Amino acid sequence: MQEKLAIEDLYSLEQYSKIRESFRHEILAHKLKRNLAVGNHVRLLFEDRKTIQYQIQEMLRVENIFEQQGIQDELDTYNPLIPDGNNWKVTMLIEYPEPEQRQKALSLLVGIENLVWVKIGDADKVFATADEDLERSTSDKTSSVHFLRFELTSAQAKNLDKSVPITIGIDHNNYHHQTDICKTTKESIIKDLDQT
């Protein structure tokens, strides 16, 4: 299980400016292992403590936040995206390069966030719980970014190993795709689970 981040886990703005380039390269390499394309227009990023620390450090830098309450506010916003031991937390990005094409697609993909699933071995599909912090869709269009949680049983989490096939899919009428998770990604995301 990954601990939530606290103020003392973060770099100060001055420290971060010194190590930002090397830290960024480290995180980009780490994210590459945790990135998954489902079809041509949906990308899933499995979040963990490292990816969330990077997100917070970048927010603090961009917003020039250095006061304790402001830092704590960012921690309170992003800490819920760190896995809790029996789940995966995922940022879902719907990607279309052209703005007009994207607008049309988002209107055709209403509800897609509730139709993303993971299947472990022969078990039933586990559908994601989407956007627990706030609603990101309207009846007219969905958002291009969603936050998903795949909640596993404690037995699934504890007994999962890299030999078990894991498939992720989307069952939306206008976007029906699935893909097997590769060994590298599987190894990385299994570490998010409490296996003790």
Which residues neighbour 80 within 8 Å (Cβ) at sequence distance 6 or greater? 89, 132, 133
45 within domain boundaries: yes
Query: Euclidean distance between the first and final Cα of the chain, in Å?
Result: 9
Q: What digits encode the pLDDT tens for the residues 129-151?
A: 998 877 777 889 999 999 999 99
In 3-state terms, what secondary structure has residue 16? helix
Answer yes or no: is 1 within a domain: no
Has residue 148 been placed in a domain? yes
pLDDT value of residue 1: 64
Cα separation, 173 vs 109, in Å, equals 8
Domain span at residue 142 reads: 7-190
How would DSSP label each residue in 153-184?
A: PHHHHHH--TTS-EEEEEEETTEEEEEEPPHH
If one counts the domains in the chain, the total is: 1
196 assigned to some structural domain: no
* Residue 116 belongs to some domain of the structure: yes
pLDDT tens per residue across span 50-108: 999 999 999 999 999 999 999 999 999 999 999 999 999 999 999 999 999 999 999 99
The secondary structure of residue 119, as a DSSP letter, is: E
Token pair 């007219």 is found at 140
Query: Does the residue 195 lie in any domain?
Result: no
For residue range 30-55, list pLDDT tens digits in order.
Answer: 999 999 999 999 999 999 999 999 99
Which has the closest alpha carbon to 142: 116, 173, 177, 104? 104
CA-CA-CA-CA torsion sign (97, 29, 114, 75): negative
